[in-house]
Structure formats: structure tokens, C-alpha cells
Amino acid sequence: MQALNETTQRKYDKLKDELKAIGSVAVAFSGGVDSTLLLTVAHEVLGDQAVGVTIASNLVPPRELDEAKAFCESRGIRHILCPVDALEVEQVRVNPPDRCYWCKHTNFSKIQEVAEELGLAAVAEGSNVDDLGDYRPGLKAVAELKIESPLRAAGLTKAEIREISKAMDLPTWDKPSYACLASRFPYGHAITAAGLDRVDRAEKFLIDLGFQSMRVRVHGDDDPIARIEVAPERFEELITQRDKIVLAFKAMGFRYVTMDLQGYRVGSMNETLKQS
């Protein structure tokens, strides 16, 4: 592993100490930057007493599940897929502002069941200290269910997690941040299987065009509007491919296709909550 700066090294050592103290753990593993580092370090510290558990939900694109499975196979980490139909949970389906609480409560409860079956002492999740600065109702579920948060306990920021991941040569060190597909819809907009499939296909289309850090937000029911978010420095590139994007999106069922002039930012649907 490459050398870290003194502060990051101290936090990294604290992370290992936190995991040693837990003893055995089921890591809620999405395949993203944070949970990949957490699972990797847990496996290094605890060996087979660290197991990755991935929620196989209709809110998660199949490509994310495939990446999670491939990573665990490449590292020899025991990995369990836990199927969950998120749309069976009414508080998720109707999409209130605290939707994430109900989703996380359901998912972590399932992972706790897996941990109990395997005789593991705890469940751990990958939130970091930066997550405390945004609207994160899912953290309420973490607290209620007594889920461990070793990255936060170690004081690690997102930038430091990426720094450690790069030093460890993890493939996710520069992976764009990701949130479940439900976050593409305004609060109060009912979430359906068809709507999830449409936005997943739209984002996959943009990924295939080379846009990694992006979102396709959806507004409206009968005449759905696609609001595309990409980084401002890529506006021109998006516009040059306008015709093919519009054609593809309309074939998917979008009536209107728009570009957000504010550009890509995490949690843009939360902006309405801040205004209220």
C-alpha cells in the first residue's frame, strides 16, 4: 500500500481498530467508494469473519450488483445477495421526504437477519463524516437499529476514503458517487417499476456515451420530463450529442428532454426541502 499523509494514516489505523473491536461483521456492501473500502479493510482485519451483504433491490441497477459480485469474487470475500422488493414497502413507494428512512430500515433489518444466521456480531455500513452535512433520513434508521458506522467513527471524509482507496489500488477510488434510483424522483411522486426501469435505461445510455458523473431526474407522470444533470464543463459535449439523446429518451417514454443549467450535484431533489 502506498504511503498516506499523517492525518489520513491515523484515521486509517483507527478504522482498523474499530473493526477489530467489533470482532465479526456483516458489511452492507453496495459496491460504492465507501462500502468497498470498509469491506476491504474489514476483510483484511477480520478475515472470514467479515462478510459482504448486498441488497438486491429494484432501486439498484443490475450493473451495480454485477460490480459488487465481481469485486468480492476477485478478493475472495464471502458475498451474499439479499433480495428485497422495495416497492412492497408503502412508505417507499409513495416517496415521502423520509423515504430513505423506511428503505434503510427495511434493508438493514434484512442484513441483521443474515448476520444473526451467520453468527456475526454486528452489521456495519459505510457512511462517512461528510454525510452528516446533508439531508440523510437513512441515518435515523442506522441509529435506531444500532448499525455500526466505522468510517464515521474513524473520522474519515469522502476525500480521505478516496485517498486510502487509491493507495490500496481499489478500483472504486475514483468511482462517481451513486444514490439509489428512487432519488431521481421528486418527493411525493409515486415510484413505479416502469419509472425505475425508464430512468435506469436513460442513465445507462448516458454512461455508454461516456458520462459517468450524471443524473437523470424525472418530473411529471403523464408527460414525463427528463432533467439531465452533467458537470458544467461537459455541457457542450452533451449538446453536441443532443439529437441522439433526445431520440433515445423519447423512445424510452420521455415526452420532454431537458438539461439542468446548474449542472450535476448530489441530492438536487433535496433543494425543495431546503426552501420549505
Residues with catalytic roles: 180
In this structure, are residues 178 and 68 in contact, taking their beta carbons and an 8 Å threshold?
no
State phi, psi for 195 to the nearest 5 degrees: -65, -40
Q: What is the biggest distance separating any 2 CA atoms in the chain, rounded to whole angstroms?
A: 56
Distance CA 22, CA 27 (A): 12
Strands 122-124 and 256-259: unpaired
Beta bridge partners of 25: 50, 122
Cell numbers representing residue 79 in the block = 458475498
Kind of pairing between the strands at 50-57 and 214-219? unpaired
Collect all residues with Cβ–Cβ distance below 8 Å to 117 and sequence separation of at least 6.
none
Q: CA–CA distance from 15 to each of 44, 126, 217, 271 (Å)? A: 12, 12, 35, 33
The residue assigned the cell 458523473 is: 213
Q: Which helix (H) or strand (E) holds 38?
A: helix 33-46
In sign, the C-alpha dihedral spanning 238, 240, 241, 245 is positive
C-alpha span between 163 and 12 (Å, rounded): 11
Of 195, 265, 209, 267, the closest CA to residue 241 belongs to 209
- Beta-ladder partners of 227: 217, 258
